[in-house]
Amino acid sequence: MQFLLDASSFSLINVLACSFVKSREFFSNFRYNMGVIPTKKSLVICENLSASAFCRRRLATILVKLKFAEHLKEAVTFIEQGHVRVGPETITDPAFLVTRNMEDFITWVDTSRIKKKVMEYVGALDDYDAMI
């Protein structure tokens, strides 16, 4: 059986191929930026993607990884009590997903006693911070 393809069929094939490439790049970039895959190279990595990859991007797990807390339970307690912020926003949900970009903006809330203790220990606490 022979198939006859005219010019409109070729343009449709080109459009579909371009949209596939764009969507593949979009999903690859999205998963890389989320931090669940190590490289943007191919979607083959995504075939073996499991739920644990997303669980490793939760705020409590990232706090342990960044040495804000020694144990996961301690990290969850810090988050629930409002001691941690991501950027300008205080986060109280330990299941908050942290992207690669947001990882750099994780810090203690300014009024946190834990931040004050850490600053005292490091020797970086000045007189103004001690008043808070």
Give the residue among 88, 90, 74, 78 at the shortest CA–CA distance from 114.
78
Q: Report the 10 Å Cβ neighbour count for 98.
A: 23
Instruction: Name the burial class of residue 47, with classes exposed (0-12), middle (13-18) and buried (19+) by CB atoms within 10 angstroms of its CB.
Output: exposed
Q: Which two tokens stand for residue 19?
A: 């949209």
Taking only the tens place, the pLDDT of each residue in 69-88 is: 999 999 999 999 999 999 99
Start-to-end CA distance of the chain, whole Å, equals 82
d(CA 97, CA 85): 13
- pTM, 2 dp: 0.72
3-state secondary structure of 111: coil
- Name the CATH code of domain 57-132 (choices 3.40.50.300, 3.40.50.1100, 3.10.290.10, 3.40.50.2000): 3.10.290.10
Instruction: Name the burial class of residue 6, with classes exposed (0-12), middle (13-18) and buried (19+) by CB atoms within 10 angstroms of its CB.
Output: exposed
Give me the residue spans of the domains in the chain.
1-49, 57-132
d(CA 40, CA 55): 20
The reported pLDDT for the residue numbered 104 is 92
3-state secondary structure of 97: strand
Taking only the tens place, the pLDDT of each residue in 100-119 is: 889 999 999 988 888 888 78
